[in-house]
Chain A
Amino acid sequence: MLECTPQTITERSAGKINPAKTCQPIGAMYAALGIHKCLPHSHGSQGCCSYHRMHLTRHFRDPIMATTSSFTEGACVFGGGANLKTAIKNVFAIYDPDVMAIHTTCLTETIGDDIPSIISSAEIPAGKLVIHTNTPSYVGSHITGFANMTKGMVNYLAESDGKPKKEQVNLLPGFVNPGDMLEIKRLVKAMGIKFIMFPDTSGVVDSPMTGEYVMYPSGGAKVEDIRDSGNSKLTLALGSFASTDPAHQLERKCKVPALTLKTPIGIKATDELLMALRQSFVQEIPAELATERGQLVDVMTDTHFHFHGKKVAIFGDPDVVIALTEFVLSLGMVPIHVLTGTPGNAFEKKVNAMLLEAGVSARVKAEGDLFELHQWLKHEPVDLLIGNTYGKYIARAEDIPLVRIGFPVLDRSVHSYLPVVGYKGAMRIIEMISNALLDRADRDAKDEDFELVM
């Protein structure tokens, strides 16, 4: 399918070929699912909502519920106020969520619907909440949308009671899988620190099979907890693209100091998370986590010779890619192509700084697409590709193994349940990478080089 990709790289200014990002609303929808008993609402035509639900369903393999304002031509001419008001009424009457989280779409952004004033003139049943965020897709990417909805949670829900801050930490996990959120919570729990995580999609999009369908599974951040986040002593924003903005908003609104860390993928980023927690909450790192770390280091030393000098290309969402780049560097691998579809200079700056420190020269780009990545690979081949499912076309065309990490993964399962964050997650990544590399080595080995012990 990619046989037409030319090798000569030319500057392109128009459009994208095989995108490495998608639009804001899907990120907002995913974030909203991370509130307990919340129903995401897409203010726009029904098509967008349908696509977003379908895409999330394919990644999580769980039912994804969201409602739509179902725009028609009339709504475009006269504005979507009437549609949204009807929608608010219907949503509570029919689906009875505790929270309705509205995001916009390109269409409603372009016609300029003023959501807050529509909300304020809508009938909202007592005790129910409506929150919103603006998510124009012609700005940023799905990661921006995730950040915006998280910020919406802060805007509408977080409150400070003015008393001295509590001994608790806010955790903004960023756009990661529920398995990752669960793992981050486990680490912080093991430290004995009280925390509030939002959004938290664990227990929502990974809910267990019971033979009964519940529209609002037991997981998700509770509204009263998000409210209380204004009283916490510290906010840890994990991943600058998905979490810094809402963390700063919380700092402005409720004076909770914010600290941005990387998504805790890999040993260094996980260390940094635990150190930050220790510093602010004066706790020792528990033996249990020290052991986990020791085991990870043990695995790294046991296997480092498989990885050393191997060339990698990494693409996907900025926060995940930044952390992954750091991790593969710590394994001795050489990331020569690093790309995200999400715009933002910070990405290139961060990755370049890490590469400079490691003495690796590489192609690094934000707001790129997979056509460009493929061209890079043709110029300078790699041993391994790490990214989402869309990498499989390139992997096939160039015959390189692909390790699937990120969003979306549409052709494999279990990924959303198991973590890539923390020490355990790092171990899992090592297992994935070495399986990919060594399976390839076995496949390609000549009879005389084929070995039992590797």
Chain B
Amino acid sequence: MVNEQAIAARTASIKTKGQQKQQVACDTDSVAGAVSQRACVYSGARVVLNPITDAVHLVHGPIGCASYTWDIRGSLSSGSELYRNSFSTDLQEEDVIFGGEKKLVSSIDELVSKYQPELVFVYSTCIVGVIGDDLQAVCKAAEKKHNIRIIPVQSSGFAGNKSAGYRAACDALLKIMPNEGPVEQKGNTVNYLGDFNLAGEIWIIKDYLKRIGIEVNATFTGDSSYRTLQRAPQAALNIMQCAGSMAYLAQRMEDIYAIPYLRVSFLGLTDTAASLRSIAASFSDPMLAHRTEALIATETATINRQLEAYRTKFKGKKAAIFVGGGFKAISLIKQFRELNIEVVMIGTQTGKQEDYAVMQELVNDGTVILDDANPAELEKFMVEKGANILVGGVKERPLAYKLGVAFIDHNHDRKHPLSGFVGAVNFAQEVYSTLCSPVWHYV
């Protein structure tokens, strides 16, 4: 069903390892008229900020932008549940004509009096950018009036893609922290950046670090709150899981507060162990490295036994990967390898040039690498390469099923924590339950 022309228009964004010389073209805007899988600035900003549990997340715009983002991410909270509500100014025609500022002001007033939050985010959507409401001024006045933080998020959708939204979110986060640095930093403490606590993943990592002797000071942004974010500058180190969304923040925090940062990945055994080691090595306390080795030894021992059974079952199976960020894609390649599964197709929505370079190093010859793939391309290469399982997000799930291919959600809809050692087992279990389900016999 795919037109050859279709593929021709996008050859720069697709390549097969071992066939072409040039890099995959990425980070470009989608073609007009494409079934793009990409989201907008607002969506990027919302995804990053939404897990802040005790904030009011007010979407300034027509109803849709708020409706579609109502509690769609399984970020768990150990405290407030306020973030799971959906707040919208629900702009109407007269607001579009005469401006929406008045409505925004009264919405803020109303929400502040109802919920007494300490922190309010006001997201701008496409239309706000066009009708010219001055979010900054409205928020500033409201801050004064209510004596709480009311932070505008400049996320008009058309001004770029999801990555621009991540950046807008990071800018908003920086506003929460005190703006002069450096701050006095505490001993063995880290901030954990780029984990949204899906299915409680942060809690797993926190526990590992605690056992090693490292305290997690603030988390960005899973299970975070106004107060914890405020004290973020006190950490000695920033560790960062999802770099796509957080690299900018980490860099800014280094500039302002002199907090160094470290890229980590807790997906799969190899990366989890390597990450823990490098975190421990960042501190001068030799006991940390010691305890890290002990922890890795105990955890891998139990887990390897469990994984071995899966490895035999997965022999000869092939996987296709289509996820948001490049770093996750890289970890997934390794993780599949640990499970005896070969990756035959890999793509991301927002991967960067350097991520694609690493992927290319990692994969076997013949693996297809593609940027911002549309469903037709996903289908073509999955079929061509004989993939048995696809890792993707919401929109890819039914596509995979229609092709009779197993599926794993590695995005908002994940149901089990996939981080750390226990996450590796959960991942294998999830792969197993879809890959080896009897339903495929009936296709």
Contacts and interface: CB of A to CB of B under 8 A. Distances in A.
Given A50-B43, A211-B403, A63 B375 contact: yes
A168 interface: no
B67 A22 contact: yes
Contacts of B111: 15, 17
Task: Give the interface centre of A60, A73, A106, A390 by most chain B CB atoms within 10 Å.
Answer: A106
B310 to A, nearest CB: 25
A4 B35 contact: no
A19 B443 CA distance: 39
A63 B379 CA distance: 12
Nearest to B43: A47
Interface string B156-167: 011111000000
Contacts of B301: none
A65 B35 contact: yes
B37 A15 contact: no
Given A47-B43, A53-B395, A213-B402, A83 B32 contact: yes
Interface stretch (B125-133, B136-144, B207-215): B125-133
B84 to A, nearest CB: 5
A46 to B, nearest CB: 5
B39 A44 contact: no
B42 A47 contact: yes
A209 B401 contact: yes
A89 B64 CA distance: 28
Given A17-B87, A46-B39, A209-B443, A87 B33 contact: yes
Contacts, number: 249
Contact of B103 (A14, A44, A68): A14
A207 B358 CA distance: 39
Given A15-B107, A94-B3, A71 B158 contact: yes
A51 B158 contact: no
A22 B64 contact: yes
B295 interface: no
A89 B36 contact: no
Nearest to A66: B35
A70 B62 contact: no
A139 B64 contact: no
A73 B158 contact: yes
Contacts of B40: 45-48, 50
Given A26-B64, A46-B39, A136-B93, A18 B127 contact: no
B68 A22 contact: yes
A211 B63 contact: no
A411 to B, nearest CB: 11
A70 B31 CA distance: 7
A391 B328 CA distance: 34
Contact of A70 (B29, B68, B82, B92): B29
Nearest to A214: B1
Contact of A212 (B39, B398, B403): B403
A19 B3 CA distance: 41
A182 to B, nearest CB: 19
A305 to B, nearest CB: 38
Task: Give the interface centre of B6, B9, B62, B66 by most chain A CB atoms within 10 Å.
Answer: B62
A94 B6 contact: yes
A106 B103 contact: no
Interface in B16-52: 29-43
Contacts of A454: none
Given A111-B130, A209-B443, A94 B5 contact: yes
Nearest to B67: A22
A213 B377 CA distance: 12
B397 interface: yes
Place the interface of chain A in its size category: 35 or more
Contacts of B157: 45, 47-48, 71, 107
Contacts of A90: 9, 31-34
A143 to B, nearest CB: 12
B285 interface: no
A88 B31 CA distance: 11
A96 interface: yes
Interface residues of B, number: 77
B201 to A, nearest CB: 20
Interface in A145-186: none
Interface string B43-83: 10000000000000010011111111110000000000110
A58 to B, nearest CB: 6
A46 B30 contact: yes
A13 B106 contact: yes
A76 interface: yes
Contacts of A49: 36
A285 interface: no
Contact of B70 (A19, A52, A70, A141): A19
Interface in B115-136: 115, 125-127, 129-131
Contact of B3 (A26, A83, A93, A111): A93
Contacts of A390: 70
B64 to A, nearest CB: 3
A434 to B, nearest CB: 30
B164 to A, nearest CB: 10
A67 interface: yes
Contacts of B82: 4
A146 B96 CA distance: 22
A87 to B, nearest CB: 3
B404 A209 contact: yes
Contacts of A46: 30, 36, 38-40, 161
B354 interface: no
A54 B106 contact: no
A50 B37 contact: yes
Interface in B78-113: 81-82, 84-93, 95-96, 103, 106-107, 109-111
Interface in B149-206: 157-161
A137 B6 contact: no
B62 A94 contact: no
Nearest to B88: A16
A345 to B, nearest CB: 16
A25 B70 contact: no
Given A46-B161, A63-B398, A110-B127, A14 B34 contact: no
A452 interface: no
A380 to B, nearest CB: 21
B145 interface: no
Nearest to A410: B72
B16 to A, nearest CB: 21
A51 B126 contact: no
B43 A51 contact: yes
B294 interface: no
A211 B443 contact: yes
B126 A107 contact: yes
B110 A12 contact: yes
Contact of B398 (A57, A137, A215): A57
Nearest to B108: A14
A95 B35 contact: yes
B394 interface: yes
Nearest to A17: B87
A15 B103 contact: yes
A191 B84 CA distance: 49
A21 B130 contact: no
B376 interface: yes
A138 B29 contact: no
Interface string A177-210: 0000000000000000000000000000001011
Interface of A: 1-4, 6, 12-19, 21-26, 41, 44-55, 57-58, 60-73, 75-76, 83-84, 86-91, 93-96, 105-107, 110-111, 136-139, 141, 207, 209-215, 371, 390, 393
9 contacts: A1-B84, A14-B89, A16-B86, A50-B38, A55-B67, A89-B33, A93-B5, A94-B6, A95-B3
The 10 A-B residue pairs with the shortest CB-CB distance in the complex, in nearest-first order: A47-B40, A23-B64, A90-B33, A87-B33, A14-B106, A22-B67, A51-B68, A1-B81, A15-B107, A137-B62
Interface of B: 1, 3, 5-6, 9, 29-43, 58, 61-70, 81-82, 84-93, 95-96, 103, 106-107, 109-111, 114-115, 125-127, 129-131, 157-161, 375-376, 379, 394-395, 397-399, 401-404, 443
